[in-house]
Amino acid sequence: MLHARREEWPDADAFLEAAYERGWTDGLPVVPATPERVEAFLATSGLAPDTVLGVVPTREVTVTAEHAAINSVMAGCRPEYFPVVVAAVRAHLDEHGNCHSTTGTLSGAAHAVIVNGPIRDELDIAYGAGCLGPGFRANATIGRALRLVIRNVCRAVPGFLDRATFSWPLRYSFCFGEDEAAGDWTPLHVQRGYAPDQSTVTVHSIMRMVSAWDSSSRDPEGVLDTLVAETRYHGIAGDAFLGDGVNVVYVMGREHQRFFFDAGWSKERMQAYLWPRLTAATAGFHDRRVNLGHPENILIVAAGGAGMAETWVLFPHLAWAVTRVVERPGDVPSETAR
Amino acid sequence: MSIVALDPTSGPVEGTARTRLAPRPPSLSGQRLGLVVNGLGCSERFLDALAAQLLATTELDGVVKVVKSSVSVPPDPGDWSRLTEGATVAITGFGG
């Protein structure tokens, strides 16, 4: 049985105007969360409405599956996207996802939702050309659903518990997949202990996102040295609460990937090359240490299309990158699953 | 055709009855000032300077300063006790 308060409006226009007046939207139109739609979304996950997906103790907030389903409908998701949203909400509300800080911060941190596994192709989650931008329903609405949960349920409303000085366009939505077939690299979720046939979501809170553009290098070391320089220009500070679990994410495009595929470099070899160079002592104002506890804290994701020789660097904001499995009724647990 | 839709919030934002301003003493005379330093930027220098000014210009009874171990967590339990037991008014802030 659904628990949320329900209300009747004379038509869709009246509902939309009320949604704006009550602050239920991110500024864009929303789809009415009718009880029938919400029930259909919940059915794809097999979750009862009152299943708790996580809590924000500092805000006295509990996020249920029903809350997540209502906001997923409003974001424009299809019902089959909902298990991905559930995994994203669970990842974000993990203690080390640090919801209160990453959604209340003056810096306006955003959240990248990175999808791995077979569900990417089942749902048409884009991971090729243009995948970080608009034009893909699954990417746009799954990322937006997480943001509406953060706004409507976790109360990160600008001027209230969202204290961002500027905020960020990425706070509308930011979701993409990994191009797992680009080469023979181990996919992100497999590196993090999941089976190749499992689908997962990794949520990474982002302080800043910088393009490491390098069209001159012609070998792996040259590209990685560019990534090191770009990352160390900003650095990543240590944090007592987060300990050695902080991550940096490199979203590597095809024009950089090919040097590693041609030379037979694995992600593990790249991590081993990067880690000592990133964590070396600060040498000056624009050469700052990157505080990463272990080589595997460097997350490398293949994505994007051809043409531009760049890799995007996703710097963390006071959170770990947290990975959660996408669970659907009827899915057979993988024997190699963690 | 009418539409029935569900409320997406966990409750009205204005339903924050527990959020209210702490009582304001009429003066700082005889009060013990608590300072909570969040660790960002120059916050400690700023609060130290503020405390020095207040000590010089009011009749404060003393200062209890707490520096958080991380910007993303509350004060350590021991510091929290020192603060709640030793201070009668407090100043904190946010930003870097």
pLDDT tens track of chain A, all 338 residues? 999 999 999 999 999 999 999 999 999 999 999 999 999 999 999 999 999 999 998 888 999 999 999 999 999 999 999 999 999 999 999 999 999 989 999 889 999 999 999 999 999 999 999 999 999 999 999 999 999 999 999 999 999 999 999 999 999 999 999 999 999 999 999 999 999 999 999 999 999 999 999 999 999 999 999 999 999 999 998 887 888 999 999 999 999 999 999 999 999 999 999 999 999 999 988 999 999 999 999 999 999 999 999 999 999 998 999 999 999 998 877 765 56
pLDDT at B13 over 70: no
- The pair of structure tokens assigned to B57 is 């210009």
Which chain B residues touch A158 with a CB distance below 8 Å? none
Contact B69 A318 (CB under 8 A): no
B1 interfacial to chain A (CB closer than 8 Å): yes
Contact A6 B4 (CB under 8 A): yes
C-alpha span between A166 and A314 (Å, rounded): 18
Contact B6 A33 (CB under 8 A): yes
Predicted-assembly ipTM surpassing the 0.85 threshold: yes
Contact B8 A4 (CB under 8 A): yes
CB nearest A106 (choices: B9, B70, B95): B95
B13 interfacial to chain A (CB closer than 8 Å): yes
B2 interfacial to chain A (CB closer than 8 Å): yes
Chain A residue at shortest CA distance from B10: A153
Q: What is the three-class DSSP state of B66?
A: strand
Length of chain B: 96
B95 interfacial to chain A (CB closer than 8 Å): yes
How is chain A split into domains, by residue range? 12-325
- The pair of structure tokens assigned to A222 is 């040259």
pLDDT at B70 over 80: no
CB nearest A38 (choices: B6, B18, B72): B6
A29 interfacial to chain B (CB closer than 8 Å): no
Q: Is B46 exposed, middle or buried (0-12, 13-18, 19+ CB in 10 A)?
A: middle
Q: Could you tell me if B96 and A106 are in contact, meaning their C-beta atoms sit under 8 angstroms apart? A: yes
Contact B73 A240 (CB under 8 A): yes
Q: Which of A41, A59, A48, A40 is nearest to A3 (CA)?
A: A48
C-alpha span between A137 and A331 (Å, rounded): 24
| Lookup result for tokens 């301003």 | B21
C-alpha span between A37 and A246 (Å, rounded): 38
A134 interfacial to chain B (CB closer than 8 Å): no
Q: Could you tell me if B87 and B54 are in contact, meaning their C-beta atoms sit under 8 angstroms apart? A: no
Phi, psi of A200 (to 5 degrees): -140, 165
B29 interfacial to chain A (CB closer than 8 Å): no
pLDDT at B14 over 90: no
Distance from CA of B30 to the nearest CA of A (A): 32
Q: Could you tell me if A317 and A109 are in contact, meaning their C-beta atoms sit under 8 angstroms apart? A: yes
pLDDT at B47 over 80: yes
pLDDT band at residue B18 using 50, 70 and 90 as cut-offs: low
A242 interfacial to chain B (CB closer than 8 Å): yes
pLDDT score at A338: 60
* Residue B35: strand pairing partners: B65, B91
Distance from CA of B7 to the nearest CA of A (A): 5
Query: For residue A267, what are the CA distances in angstroms to A188, A297, A310?
Result: 9, 12, 17
Residue to test with chain A: of B2, B10, B94, most A Cβ within 10 A: B10
pLDDT score at B15: 45
